[in-house]
Structure formats: structure tokens, C-alpha cells
């Protein structure tokens, strides 16, 4: 074994993890990694199915003494969220990830790591390639496009799967067993732009929001981290009230399912107002650093003059509607569960804002463990959009996974955890979408659980995977498999 991870254990798991890191696999670009998994299966003389969605199913018979055991589905997804820092030069369509080790953590240099969910794929490959790990009959299901609407799970053919026990390896906290998840829907609010000609004698400026922590819009929505798009809307509203502002471009965020860390606005303004503008921005920095002193202490607002001379800008009506959308768009936690203490029940995240020649598009991810509350948030956005002449469309809806009070696999996980770690695991629900909701809908009566090693700051360039936790959860998974007879 060669590479950055060659000296850490479990060696087989980290070997495959590093191999995966060399293959570009952003959501929607999984063909090559899917083909890699097919080749891996064939090299190991295993039955393999690759479907139209590039999902890969690899089947392996039970080892000696486990031939009659129930078939277990081990499941993860091959795609990853591809996000990088502004100053990082990385082509996600061609470049391998640059892995590094910092103490107990594996990270990537300036980009997301892809441990969500490459570690699940690495675990399953290590099991499939082994000749000395006891296990029941296995169906390893590796899906595509999980991060952008669970397209692979939606395209799964139920006839390709026979198992009735599913272990999802897409959780991010050791010792927490997930038994329920939120459903979700992506929505776009689309505001038409009316343009007017601009006074070319004025200067152009770039307003930036930077250095927020961001994070997973489900897992970390309860941390009340700043949303760069929402902050940009607040600042724009203030500047529009105090200056003769002519905006011509708005952009913010990278992924709908990531709390946005950065946002930009470009506008034209009389250069004589620049000193007053800088003073106003200084006030905003003081205000925001006080508001976010715990969650985002490094948040920064800045404005600089840029060498651009736009020929047209938004008219005043468009700008006022744009600001109204920013200021009134539902965002963040919308309701908390009264059944499970501390569980976010419903939320929405304004993840991406973009401008083209015809419209400004606001893209959000709505989540809820109750279907009707998910619908209610969407309907509120529709009322807002209708009131100002915008439109809203829904995309990539996926169902929730409801708690099963009579779960065999949950009891196996609990007993194994107590035996290995001399403590009780935490049984929890998650305010994020897992493919389990779709599997329940597609495969019917299936017993599921989700677990995984410690990961931090997923969906951001600070994403980190704990090496020691990966090893503990590897041993835990092997213990689970030995117990299913």
C-alpha cells in the first residue's frame, strides 16, 4: 500500500478510501467511480449489477456457518459534495483530492474530503475483498446523486435487492444510532429581472460576505450559524435605504444542502459616496461580529471598487422585490419536535442565490420529519413569491423515514455496542435526509438502522474524518455482521 494513508489502520479501509479520493465524484459525475466499483467486483469474482442511474449492487454469499443467515444490505453513496475555498485551485471534474493527516483527522487541502460518504464505500469494499471476515449473505448497495436529491435511490429497481435488513453507513457521530430521518424538498424561487441602462460615469463595487463556518443544512442547522445569503440581504436593505444603489449581480452559496459561507453583490454607485459606504460597512462588521461572536466569530463584510462597467442594472422595482425576498424568505429552524428532545422538526436553508440575464434564482432545501409541515413551509414561500410576481417550483422531493418500534437490527446494534464499549448507544433521529426513507418506500417491509464514525464540518472545506473513530466503528461493524446468523 502506498499513499498518504498507508500507515494508519484499518489499512484495508483506508487503502480503498484513498483510492476513491483519486476519482472525481461530485454528484452527477459518478460514471467513472461507478465503473471503478464494477471493475472491483469483477476482479474479486463477485456478482455485480450496475443500473441506469449508475447505482452499483455487489453481492457476496455468506461465509461458512452463515449460509442460512438473513441477507444484509450494506449501503452508502458514492457521490460527494464538492466545495472549495475561494483561493483553492482545484478542478473537481479532473483533479484527485489532496489528502492530509492532522493528528487524529484526515482532511483535504482546501476542499471537501468526501468522507461523506466515501468511508461507507471503503468499509464495504474492505469487507467484500476480504477472505477472513465472517458475515451473512451481503448485498452492498452504493447509490449515486445522494447529495443532490437522492437520484440514485429514486432510480433503484426493487427487483435487484432481496435483503430485508439494511445497514446505512451515512451517519456522522460515533455511538449514535439513527432510527428515523427527515424528508425534504428542494425549491427555487425565481424573480424576473427588469433591467435599465446605467450611468457609466459611476464606479462599480463588489460587496462580499466571507469567513462564515457554514456546514450541513440538516445536521448543523441547530447551531444557528450565519447564512451568508441572509446576511447579504440585510446589508443590501440597509445600503439601499442610505445610498443610491444600482445592483447588477447577486450570487451566494454553492450547494442547497450546505449553509452558505460566502455571498457577493455587485453594484454601481457615485464614487463620492465611497467613504460613507466604507463607514457603513465598518458598522456592519461590528454588528455581525457581535451577533455571531459564538457561532461565526470571523464573519466579515467588505466592499471594494472593481474594474467593471456594466451596461445595465436592476431597476428599482426589481431591487426592492429582491430585497423583500431576502428579508422575508423563511430560513433556519421552523419548528422543534415535542416528541424527541432537541430534535429539529422542520427547517429550510437558503443555500444558493444566482443571477443570469433574465432572473435571480433563490434555491433552498426544506426538511421536516412531518410531511405536512414540509408542505406548509413550501406554501409560505409560494405566497411570498406570488405577492411580488415571482414564481416557485419544487424539485427532488424525498420521503421521511419513520421510527420502527419493533426493529431486530436495532437490538443487535445495541447489544453489540454494550458488549464492546460497556455503555449504551444513543438512539436518535436526524434532521437530515437519508436514503432510508426512499428505501422504505421502494422496498417495503425492511428493517433499517444508520451509523458511522465521527465526522466534522461535512459539506465544507474543513471536513474532517476521525481516524480512531473509523477504526472503532470498523470493529463494531464486523461484530454486528458476526452476530447476524
For the annotated catalytic residues, the residue numbers are 79, 146
| Cβ-count burial 17-50 (b if 16+ within 10 Å, e if not) | bbbbbebbbbbebbeebbebbbebbeeeebebbb
Cell numbers given for 164: 430485508
Partnered with residue 181 across adjacent β-strands are 401, 430
State how far the Cα of 266 lies from the Cα of 281, in Å rounded to an integer. Answer: 15
Determine how many CB atoms are found less than 10 A away from the CB of residue 480. Answer: 21
Could you give the CA distance from residue 471 to residue 119 in angstroms, rounded to a whole number? Answer: 11
In terms of C-beta density within 10 A (0-12 exposed, 13-18 middle, 19 or more buried), how is residue 2 classed? exposed
Give which of 456, 455, 28, 460 is closest to 262, Cα–Cα.
Answer: 460
Q: Could you tell me which residues are beta bridge partners of residue 188?
A: 363, 393
Grid coordinates belonging to 104: 487524529
CB within 8 Å of 290: residues ≥ 6 apart: none
What is d(CA 292, CA 209) in angstroms, rounded to the nearest whole number? 13
CA distances from 438 to 270, 326, 399 (A): 54, 32, 6
CA 202/CA 194 separation, integer angstroms: 20
Longest dimension (CA), the chain: 83
Strands 138-143 and 72-77: parallel
* Closest to 158 in 3D by CA, of 21, 51, 28: 51
> Distance between alpha carbon 416 and the CA centroid of its chain, in Å?
30
SS percent in the chain: helix, strand, coil, step 5 = 30, 30, 40
Here the cell at position 456 is 466534522
Mapping DSSP to helix (H, G, I), strand (E, B) and coil, where does residue 225 land? Answer: coil
d(CA 337, CA 429): 10
Amino acid at each position: 500500500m502506498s499513499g498518504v494513508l498507508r500507515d494508519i489502520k484499518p489499512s484495508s479501509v483506508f487503502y480503498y478510501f484513498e483510492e476513491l479520493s483519486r476519482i472525481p465524484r461530485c454528484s452527477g459525475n459518478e460514471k467513472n467511480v461507478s465503473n471503478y466499483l464494477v471493475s472491483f467486483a469483477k476482479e474479486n469474482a463477485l456478482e455485480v449489477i450496475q443500473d441506469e442511474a449508475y447505482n452499483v449492487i455487489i453481492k457476496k454469499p455468506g461465509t461458512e456457518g452463515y449460509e442460512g443467515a438473513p441477507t444484509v444490505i450494506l449501503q452508502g453513496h458514492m457521490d460527494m459534495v464538492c466545495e472549495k475555498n475561494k483561493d483553492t485551485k482545484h478542478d473537481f471534474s479532473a483533479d484527485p483530492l489532496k489528502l492530509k493527516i492532522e493528528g487524529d483527522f484526515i482532511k483535504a487541502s482546501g476542499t471537501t474530503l468526501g468522507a461523506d460518504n466515501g468511508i461507507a464505500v471503503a468499509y464495504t469494499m474492505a469487507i467484500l475483498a476480504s477472505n477472513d471476515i465472517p458475515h451473512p449473505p451481503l448485498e452492498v448497495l452504493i447509490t449515486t446523486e445522494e447529495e443532490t436529491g437522492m437520484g440514485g435511490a429514486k432510480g433503484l429497481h426493487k427487483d435487484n435487492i432481496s435483503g430485508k435488513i439494511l445497514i446505512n453507513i451515512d451517519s456522522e457521530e460515533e455511538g449514535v444510532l439513527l432510527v428515523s430521518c427527515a424528508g425534504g424538498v428542494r425549491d427555487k424561487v425565481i424573480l424576473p429581472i427588469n433591467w435599465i441602462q446605467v450611468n457609466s460615469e459611476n464606479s462599480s463595487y463588489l460587496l462580499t460576505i466571507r469567513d462564515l463556518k457554514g456546514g450541513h443544512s440538516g445536521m448543523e442547522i441547530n447551531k444557528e450559524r450565519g447564512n451568508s445569503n441572509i446576511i447579504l440581504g440585510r446589508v443590501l436593505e440597509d445600503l439601499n435605504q442610505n445610498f443610491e444603489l444600482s445592483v447588477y449581480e447577486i450570487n451566494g452559496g454553492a450547494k442547497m444542502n450546505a449553509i452558505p459561507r460566502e455571498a457577493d453583490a455587485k453594484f454601481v454607485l457615485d464614487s463620492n459616496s465611497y467613504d460613507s459606504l466604507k463607514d457603513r460597512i465598518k458598522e456592519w462588521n461590528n454588528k455581525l461580529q457581535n451577533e455571531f461572536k459564538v457561532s461565526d466569530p470571523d464573519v466579515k463584510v467588505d466592499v471594494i471598487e472593481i474594474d467593471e462597467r456594466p451596461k445595465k442594472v436592476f431597476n428599482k422595482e426589481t431591487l426592492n422585490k429582491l430585497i423583500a425576498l431576502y428579508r422575508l424568505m423563511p430560513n433556519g429552524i421552523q419548528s422543534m419536535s415535542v416528541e424527541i428532545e432537541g430534535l429539529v422538526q422542520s427547517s429550510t436553508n437558503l443555500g444558493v442565490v444566482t443571477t443570469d440575464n433574465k432572473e435571480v434564482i433563490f434555491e433552498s432545501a426544506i426538511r421536516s420529519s412531518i410531511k405536512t409541515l414540509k408542505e406548509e413551509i413550501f406554501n409560505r414561500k409560494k405566497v411570498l413569491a406570488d405577492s411580488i410576481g415571482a414564481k416557485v417550483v419544487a424539485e427532488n422531493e424525498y420521503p421521511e423515514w419513520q421510527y420502527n418500534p419493533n426493529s431486530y437490527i436495532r437490538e443487535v446494534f445495541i447489544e453489540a455496542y454494550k458488549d464492546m464499549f460497556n455503555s449504551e448507544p444513543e438512539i436518535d433521529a436526524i434532521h437530515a435526509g437519508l436514503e432510508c426513507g426512499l428505501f422504505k418506500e421502494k422496498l417495503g417491509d425492511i428493517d433499517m438502522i444508520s451509523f458511522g464514525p465521527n465526522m466534522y464540518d461535512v459539506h465544507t472545506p474543513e471536513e474532517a474524518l476521525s481516524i480512531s473513530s473509523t477504526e472503532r466503528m470498523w470493529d463494531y461493524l464486523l461484530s454486528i455482521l458476526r452476530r447476524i446468523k
